[in-house]
Chain A
Amino acid sequence: MRLQTNGSLVSPHPNLYNEKAVRKQDPTLNIDEIVAKYRPIISFKVKKSIGAHTPEWEDVANEVLLNVIEKLEKSEFRGESSIGTFIYTITSRRIIDYIRRKSKVLKHAPEPNPFSTPQQDVEEEERAEHMASLLEQLKPKYKEVLYLYYYKDLSRDEVSQHLNISPRRVSERVNYAQKLLRKMVIK
């Protein structure tokens, strides 16, 4: 098994994994498609767990993917659970291993930041810049909800009390703001 320059993992024996069990779960997937589909999900989970600012997150995500492929090749996936749950279990264990290993080195390591910092790469920074400019264009009533709910970290009930609207309305405004942003991005 090797890691390609574009970051994808390629198995030298693509036909050895328990294709039957995987296809039973998702008939369209082969091992490359599994990697393509689950790489972002695994990366997301890893970043969320150990912090997007942690430089090792990519290594951990790659280790998870290698582990997944290895297990698929060894036919350890027998289709008793979904392929998603199978990969989630591997990801969780691998993250726990990483944290244990890390805590032995740094007993008092700071809490990881759950959100990625937009300065991570140029593309991400540009995307964040664009999103920030779109957010500024939103109507005050949507900005107000986003400000209180996400920036000030108030609960939905606290926001509803603050703005004198129902908690349901708070969720609706947040969702509608997101919808508007999506439309603005497409334009």
Chain B
Amino acid sequence: MKKCNFEKHIDNYLLNRLSEEKKEMFENHYFNCSNCFKKLEDRNALISVIKSRGNEIFMDQKRESQEAQTRSSIFERLFSFSFFTPKQWTMATISACALLIVVFGIAPVLNLKSPIPQFVMDSQSVRGDSLALIFPVNNTQTIPSEFRWDNLGEGVEYKIYIYKDNLLWSAPTTQTSISLPENIKDLLKTGENYSWEVKAFSQEGSLIAASSKVPFQIDSHQ
């Protein structure tokens, strides 16, 4: 059967999508073209059935379309809470994955270690004024008999703390230095690591300054 140029209008005519002028032209045509009229009838029968019984015929398609709509609305809702577009979300996800690969994949292979925390050797205040420790602040050849720190002025009470793993000794003083009692001196061993800190209190007993916790080691070749 030879294809007629007007055949392309069949669907649009049946679906009322033709302009009035084209509609009249097409109607006039199918009054004169039995081939087009036959095809028009066939297509009309098909569309009529689809329109009237589509609910039963397209149950699968409707379900799929509803599922797709639900999926897309979940995504839309998800993205509507953010300033990110889906593309930006994708980029962010890729970046996060790359970072995880570097941290957990490459770092162990290169045997990269996290930096060992270094104590600040001068003062580091916890709150209020800073308090600098003077001696000992590093390795020492002998067991220190005296610990010294900065003066914060009159009427300040200091409290020294010496640690090994736990607190070893603590004592208050109004001076800016303190001598270790013999029994504590005996506890300090060469080659061991210790640390100390001093806190300053006002006359009312409130903390006004604190030093950082400074490590020291008594060298073994004493």
Contact = CB atoms under 8 A, between A and B. Distances in A.
Interface string A99-137: 000000000000000111110000000011001100110
A150 B14 CA distance: 10
**Interface bin, chain A:** 35 or more
B57 interface: yes
Interface in B68-119: none
A150 B50 contact: yes
Nearest to A113: B51
A178 interface: yes
A118 B27 contact: no
Interface of B is mostly: helix
A61 to B, nearest CB: 13
Given A41-B30, A143-B58, A147-B61, A118 B44 contact: no
Interface in A142-160: 143-144, 146-151, 153, 155
B41 A40 contact: yes
Contacts of B33: 84
Given A114-B16, A143-B58, A151-B50, A131 B28 contact: no
B144 interface: no
A150 to B, nearest CB: 4
Given A41-B31, A44-B40, A147-B58, A116 B46 contact: no
A132 B42 contact: no
A118 B48 CA distance: 7
Given A115-B52, A128-B52, A147-B58, A44 B37 contact: yes
B15 interface: yes
B192 interface: no
Contact of B49 (A40, A87, A91, A135): A135
Interface of B: 11, 14-17, 24, 27-28, 30-34, 37, 40-54, 56-58, 60-62
Interface of A: 37-38, 40-41, 44-45, 82, 84-85, 87-88, 91-92, 114-118, 127-128, 131-132, 135-136, 140, 143-144, 146-151, 153, 155, 174, 178, 181-182
